[in-house]
Chain A
């Protein structure tokens, strides 16, 4: 039985477009109607461009080109990406008049592949935060429970796909901002190797840690988008799961974690063992100071970019982001350099681990989507800020730059999705996608479509 169109993966939509069962214009109209119905509830979009999208779709329908991998596929992007002629607000009052003169490099790639941008997504202001709260455009809810967060910072991108308002979305990931909301919303979130997808034309948060990533309904869809977004995708020989060595971190990544999430990961590990994979315990670097290292890099870099706006428009920033920038002002240059040297040691250690394993498996997050407005979450009796918990297992891999993908692996008894994270070798993006795809197609987990009411 085919999936309802609103929740159909690109692979299915592609088939229908190519068969002529569905027209590109019809598809845009379909999503436009859904956005009219769910746009306000989901708070997924900051701006829409359906008029231009319809014009592009009309041209595509006149002469459909089968060679383009995303021909006629409607997608959305986080409002950090420049799309020519549309405002790039970054979810902030600061950039209300900032109309893009050119497309970002990633948008150009999507255009070349035939995809159609239908609008730009809500986010945590300037990507500063993992809860997706935004005082200007509203806090983005989770499609599985609208009293809970979609997660961020690519909150609107997750909601746009999760509420069935487009086929896929682009986001950015500085500490987990693609992978974490994807996991909380039952989607696939992929962050490739650092630098493999260009960040040109994307408003930066932290040059050292920013990655462009994708939010999709399936791993296969993530693969199609990735091939469109990188200059030279590699052809690989698919490896069977029974030839793989999968690293399981000895500490940190399975600690202070919701028990049902751990149960789902254990079930996934059993599936992998039965498929013949070798699960090997690995000793990761100490995580005690990794958040400190990350923050010490992030905040001075963010301040350095935002200096261009602070003098004239400083009063338009939200109070919490201003406070973060002020912190960036008060760190010493040697502390920043030292933090970057620690990052180099993390990369070296991880590369040594990847000499012995093909991928590493962790939960995507230690918690299910927190309630909207929750400042802290408690797991196993210990509390931490909601944003820190959401990205606790993802942020390390922004420092090391290894490719990482989160995939759904079940439903929590509270009705929220649970995700697993797979991390691959530098430039092993294609292999990582291939392995994730094998797991997705072989591992039988139940994740119903969200009930949107």
Chain B
């Protein structure tokens, strides 16, 4: 998987009907300087590991029923 870049996130913002996040906020996600959000790339890397695990037909978690 390639490293996330700012253009990808700007594309999501501009082409996916997203809220208009500031450029600086998007920069922070790919190249954290303020220490507000760190590790988005790491999160994506971990999600990529999880993607490769076969969950068979496990459904998404829903409400918890009693007995």
A126 contacts partner chain B, Cβ-Cβ < 8 Å: no
A195 touches B64 (CB 8 A): yes
For the complex, count residues of A whose C-beta is within 8 A of B: 41
Q: Which residues of B contact A348 (CB under 8 A)?
A: 58
Q: Considering residues B46, B47, B60, B61, which has the most beta carbons from chain A within 10 angstroms of its beta carbon?
A: B61
Chain A residues numbered 263-297 whose CB sits less than 8 Å from any CB in chain B = 289, 292-293, 295-296
Q: Which residues of A contact B (CB under 8 A)?
A: 193-195, 208, 289, 292-293, 295-296, 307, 310-311, 314, 319-320, 322-327, 329-331, 335, 337-345, 347-348, 375, 399, 401, 426-427
Closest to A318 in B: B36
A345 touches B18 (CB 8 A): no
Give which listed residue, A310, A329, A344, A401, contacts B58 with CB less than 8 A. A344
Expressed in whole angstroms, the Cα–Cα distance for A209 and B40 within the complex equals 21
* Chain A binding surface, main DSSP class: helix
A320 touches B36 (CB 8 A): yes
Q: Which residues of B contact A343 (CB under 8 A)?
A: 60-61
Q: Which residues of B contact A (CB under 8 A)?
A: 9, 12-13, 18-19, 21, 25-26, 28-29, 34-37, 40, 43, 46-47, 49-51, 55, 58-61, 63-64, 66-67
A344 touches B46 (CB 8 A): no
Our count of residue pairs bridging A and B at CB distance below 8 angstroms stands at 90
Given contacts A193-B64, A335-B51, 16 further A-B pairs with CB under 8 A are A195-B64, A289-B46, A292-B46, A314-B19, A322-B25, A324-B37, A326-B25, A326-B26, A327-B40, A335-B47, A338-B50, A341-B59, A341-B61, A344-B61, A345-B58, A348-B58
Expressed in whole angstroms, the Cα–Cα distance for A401 and B61 within the complex equals 10
Q: Which residues of A contact B47 (CB under 8 A)?
A: 292, 296, 331, 335, 338
A401 touches B64 (CB 8 A): yes
Pairs A-B, 7 closest by C-beta atoms: A340-B60, A343-B61, A323-B37, A344-B61, A292-B46, A323-B36, A427-B66
Q: Which residues of B contact A335 (CB under 8 A)?
A: 47, 51
Closest to A385 in B: B38
Expressed in whole angstroms, the Cα–Cα distance for A401 and B29 within the complex equals 30
A307 touches B19 (CB 8 A): yes
